[in-house]
């Protein structure tokens, strides 16, 4: 990729307008019937522990969405006769009674303790069985309104210019696997990595996202990032959207769903990011203008 050469200065009003596009786009998405249907369905699926995820992967590596027999029925789907269940570990809990006696295990009885306010305690685990969606027939599940990866070419020179900024911050830029993510920034090793199996448009958008983390100060305090990760992801992706839009790349199909997911559909979180996003985007875009003004090295 060559240097970027065509970008004019982006005004503060334009930056504000671009962030408002994100807010409006997220608001439209989370108010749609498709989004509500997706959330209603997702709420019926359990979040499995790492141990259970490993068990599921070992028994059925191609599993995508798994749930118990009755959960599938509640979603209008039926496990096919003869299908073999995927064994996982289900917790057996109990709630102590006020007189010191124990209530019956929740996993084996529907009997409820009289003192509903008492916290439940873990007694152990038992085997339970779940099934992958491919083992069921019935009503189709609502399509996930998740981020759609960008396809096609990146704006000319943008990758090289953003890469130069990452290097200036002391990071080594790599391409490769990212453990299921599109990219990551590791302040401990000063490595910024972008997955290598996506189109150039997605790769440069991800690079802008990771650079957004750096410019927003997220990597400077990882303890705070872990606590406030949802807001940090909203900010970094919003920066990426602004950078992409300023260079003629429409990332709305990815950004709106990504931001909505991390914001939990809360538009106030998106609005709260405005100042941080515009400041970070302004810094990155200003550096891109400097890069564009520099003469290309002579060929020898």
The residue among 212, 210, 178 whose CA lies nearest residue 197 is 178
Residue 29: is its pLDDT beyond 60? yes
Q: What is the pLDDT of residue 103?
A: 53
What pLDDT, on a 0 to 100 scale, did the predictor assign at position 111?
A: 31
Cut 0.75: pTM above it: no
Res 255: pLDDT: 95
pLDDT (tens digit per residue) in 257-298? 999 989 988 999 999 999 999 999 999 999 998 665 554 444
Element (H, E) at 124: strand 121-132
Is 90 exceeded by the pLDDT of residue 22? yes
Does 168 score more than 90 pLDDT? yes
Q: How confident is the model at residue 154 (pLDDT cuts 50, 70, 90)?
A: very high
Each residue of 225-242: pLDDT tens digit?
A: 888 999 999 999 999 999
Whole-Å CA distances, 60 to 45, 53, 82, 132, 138: 17, 10, 16, 8, 21
| Predicted pLDDT at 167 | 97
Q: Average of pLDDT values for 75-101? A: 84
Q: Give the closest residue to 266 by CA, choosing from 80, 55, 23.
A: 23
pLDDT at 291: 61
CA distance 98 to 144: 45
Please choose, from the candidates 3, 1, 13, the residue with its C-alpha nearest in 3D space to the C-alpha of residue 287.
Answer: 3
Please state the rounded mean pLDDT for residues 63-82.
92
| Residue spans per domain, the chain | 12-32+146-293, 50-138
> Which of 291, 287, 286, 277 shows the shortest CA–CA distance to 212?
277
Mean pLDDT calculated for residue range 89-106: 67
Q: Where does the pLDDT of residue 31 fall: very low under 50, low under 70, confident under 90, or very high at 90 and above?
A: confident
Query: What is the per-residue pLDDT across 106-120, written as a single tens digit (0 to 9) for each?
Result: 444 333 333 455 677
Q: Across the chain, what does the average pLDDT equal?
A: 84
Note the pLDDT tens digit of each residue in 46-68: 777 778 878 988 899 888 889 99
Cβ(234)–Cβ(270) under 8 Å?
A: yes
Question: Which of 192 and 47 is assigned the larger pLDDT?
Answer: 192
First CA to last CA distance, the chain = 18
């Amino acid at each position: 990729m060559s240097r970027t050469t065509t970008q004019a200065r982006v005004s503060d009003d334009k930056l504000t307008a671009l962030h408002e596009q994100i807010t409006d786009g997220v608001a439209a998405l989370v108010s749609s019937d498709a989004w509500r249907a997706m959330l209603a369905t997702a709420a019926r699926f359990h979040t499995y522990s790492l141990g259970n995820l490993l068990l599921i992967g070992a028994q059925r590596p191609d599993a995508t969405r798994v749930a118990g027999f009755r959960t599938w029925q509640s979603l209008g789907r039926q496990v096919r006769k003869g299908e073999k269940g995927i064994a996982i570990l289900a917790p057996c809990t109990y709630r102590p009674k006020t007189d010191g006696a124990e209530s019956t295990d929740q996993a084996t009885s529907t009997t409820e303790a009289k003192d509903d306010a008492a916290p439940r305690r873990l007694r152990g685990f038992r085997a339970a069985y779940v099934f992958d969606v491919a083992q069921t027939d019935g009503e189709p599940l609502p399509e996930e309104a998740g981020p759609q990866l960008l396809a096609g070419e990146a704006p000319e020179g943008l990758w090289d210019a953003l890469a130069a900024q990452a290097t200036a911050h002391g990071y080594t830029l790599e391409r490769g696997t990212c453990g299921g993510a599109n990219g990551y920034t590791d302040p401990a090793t000063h490595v910024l990595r972008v997955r290598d199996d996506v189109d150039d448009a997605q790769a440069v958008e991800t690079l802008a996202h990771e650079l957004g983390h750096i410019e927003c100060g997220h990597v400077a305090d990882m303890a705070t990032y872990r606590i406030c990760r949802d807001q940090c992801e909203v900010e970094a992706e919003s920066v990426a959207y602004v950078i992409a839009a300023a260079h003629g790349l429409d990332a709305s199909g990815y950004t709106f769903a990504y931001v909505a997911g991390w914001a939990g559909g809360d538009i106030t979180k998106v609005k709260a990011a405005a100042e941080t996003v515009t400041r970070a985007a302004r810094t990155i875009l200003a550096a891109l203008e400097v890069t564009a003004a520099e003469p290309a090295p002579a060929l020898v």
